[in-house]
Amino acid sequence: MFTRYLKDQRGLTLVELLAVVVILGIIAAIAIPSVGNIIENSRKDAHIANAQMLANAARMAATAEGKATGDYTLEELQKEGFISDIQVPGGDGNYDAEDTKVSITSDKDTTKQIIKVTLSDGKTTFVEDKDISSLGRDEVVLEDEK
């Protein structure tokens, strides 16, 4: 009985195996760029979140000083204890404490504050003087996009 199973050798033909490999290749060709875009968008979203966090720290600093406007560097905010080091998403270091800045101004027509942020690691400027209220993925520049 056991010998009957050994003689009944069924398997995949070369054409069937080739069809499976072609299908897997097509799936990989579609999936790999999609995964790359997901990673890129995640990094951009992390830069936006860091910009918002920096803007909130600047708001707290301005409130503590009793001012409605002001210009702050990451270094100044760190010295005052409003924020700690912020790591660059996808990078191996932190934002540069002197090049990373926040500017709070008031709109003359309304009482609304305008907060502009610049994020830089010293080599790359990811966000340059952009209004935090309208900051989107298309305004964030990653290292490999330059």
Whether the CA torsion 15, 20, 26, 32 is positive or negative: it is negative
Residue-averaged pLDDT of the chain: 87
pLDDT at site 36: 83
Statement: residue 145 has pLDDT above 80: no
Look up residue 2 and give its two tokens.
Answer: 């056991």
The pLDDT tens digits for 80-119 are: 999 988 898 887 789 998 999 999 988 777 778 889 999 9
| pLDDT at residue 6, rounded to an integer | 59
Condensed to tens digits (0 to 9), the pLDDT of residues 22-73 reads 999 999 999 888 888 898 999 999 999 999 999 999 999 998 988 888 899 9
Cα gap 124→121, rounded to integer Å: 6
pTM of the model: 0.77
Confidence (pLDDT) at 4: 61
Distances (CA, A) of 87 to 6, 47, 53, 83, 94: 61, 10, 12, 12, 4
pLDDT digits over 100-110, tens only?
A: 999 998 877 77
Q: What is the reported pLDDT for 48?
A: 94
CB-based contacts of 138, cutoff 8 Å, min separation 6: none
Q: Where are the domains of the chain?
A: 16-139
Lowest mean pLDDT among 2-11, 76-85, 93-102, 130-139: 2-11
